Amino acid sequence: MFKLVRFKQKSSLRRFSTAINRRHVEDEGDWFYSSEWWTGDSSNSRTVFRETSHSGNGVVSVLAHPCSKPDIFYWARTEKWLQQRYAEIRTGLKQDGKFRVSGYEWRTLHFNDYTRESTVKILAAYREEEPGSLCFMQQAHCLAVPYVKSMVSAGLATISSSNYDLVKNAIDGKQTMNILCIGHGGGSIPLFLASKIRGAVVHIVELDPIVISASIQAMGFPAFSVMTPSGKRACPKPSPIDEVLWKGTHERLLLFNSDAEKFILESTNVYDIIFIDAYDGEDIFPHKLWEPCSPFLQALGNRLHPGHGTVVVNLHADVDLVVDTPNPPIFSFLPMGKHVSQVCHAYKDALLEPDSSTNGFAYTVSVPWVCNTSLVVCRGFDRPEDSSAWSMVFNSLMSKALLVEKLVDMPFSCLQYIKRGFTPVD
């Protein structure tokens, strides 16, 4: 969930977009395209999902918006890929009929008709022999919201800077990287990680079953990911079309309908990295997920790997942030209010041992375009004692951000999300 920064958009729209010039790869989630889904012009959007939540989120709805990319010229390439996947997975069956792309759309998840919770891009396709077989596939490579890119960039760069060899253990799939996402929304973070990191096994915890339904029915998230309370798949076998769309990825996504505190207290799993983005229908980060002595925070430390465990939390700044420069000073003070400061210190104190000099560090970075802050807490690093030591940490993060961009094949620049308002949490 996020808040829009109040400043002129058009004059600086591409200021933070480096992906195109960097590697000649167009980022379909570039903020340049945000006007296609941010605008409140109802004439260009339609409601494709609407149900009332009984979990505190009010009316949950999904709106569809036209998008300009990819151009229709490239649709044939996607149709060919779908046909090839079908032939590989349905080996031995008659290969009659072809896949056709109906189009692409932005899909935005809303609570109570005003809080925009998540944004994804979906592909709509069908088989010619079955015109009614329309399916939606979320575009995993497309992260549309800046705070999501910030969380992923900061998280992967940080864990790569610790005692964890991200390249050896996860990206090539040789070993498992255990990831937990608290708060599901449209599912863009877990889907991006599972599709980009072949060794990633992603557990997702979502309190609201209506949000889960919305993400699967209207936002193209893999249905096979849904788990039962007993820990088994809700669907024992994926459908043939889901196999075509997601085989190799959806087996590593496990989506649990559960309260985050209950899940953490009952779990015995140890996670390498945890992403937390859990806001309710009133746009509030629940107190029980950040109060210093809460059972959740105390148990979270036991679920985090002691040697390199990293936690990334999406936070709102308490006052609106007006951004005038693309590169604020490294140690500039973020205009965070007392509430956000309390959350940062609560996570740092709960996850890092106060009396140890080698237990890790915590920092925040500001997010461009929207009034959000990413908090990162990491184990496995010597705690910096002064500004020169923090400069070494910052330089290491910058270096690892560039490496992650290359190895994970990011469509956007991780670097820009590490260097914005980097601020240690003392």
Residues 6+ apart with CB under 8 A from 192: 140, 141, 143, 152
pLDDT of the residue at 111: 94
- Terminal Cα distance for the chain, rounded: 26
User: Which pLDDT tens digit goes with each residue over 351-404?
Assistant: 997 766 558 999 999 999 888 999 999 998 778 888 888 999 999 999 999 999
User: Which pLDDT tens digit goes with each residue over 279-298?
Assistant: 888 888 999 999 998 999 99
- Quote the distance between the C-alpha of residue 28 and its chain's center: 15
351 belongs to a structural domain: yes
Sheet containing strand 115-127, edge to edge, reads 46-52, 59-66, 99-111, 115-127, 130-138
Lookup: tokens for 320: 């609106």
The Cα 147–Cα 55 span in angstroms is: 24
58 belongs to a structural domain: yes
pTM of the model: 0.89
78 belongs to a structural domain: yes
Same structural domain for residues 163 and 312? yes
The Cα 287–Cα 207 span in angstroms is: 15
118 belongs to a structural domain: yes
Around Cβ 414, how many Cβ atoms within 10 Å? 26
Same structural domain for residues 281 and 365? yes
Question: Is residue 234's pLDDT more than 70?
Answer: yes
Total domains, the chain: 2
User: Which pLDDT tens digit goes with each residue over 137-154?
Assistant: 999 999 999 999 999 999
Higher pLDDT, 51 or 332: 51
Answer with the one of 138, 164, 186 that is the final residue of a domain. 138
Residue 306 sits in a domain of what CATH number?
3.40.50
The Cα 226–Cα 111 span in angstroms is: 22
Domain range for 68: 10-138
Answer with the one of 138, 164, 184 that is the final residue of a domain. 138
Same structural domain for residues 37 and 184? no
151: amino acid identity, one letter: M
3-state secondary structure of 103: strand
Least confident piece of the model among 5-19, 126-140, 144-158, 352-366: 5-19
229 belongs to a structural domain: no
Same structural domain for residues 27 and 165? no
Question: Is residue 309's pLDDT more than 90?
Answer: yes
111 belongs to a structural domain: yes
- Quote the distance between the C-alpha of residue 32 and its chain's center: 19
Same structural domain for residues 96 and 201? no
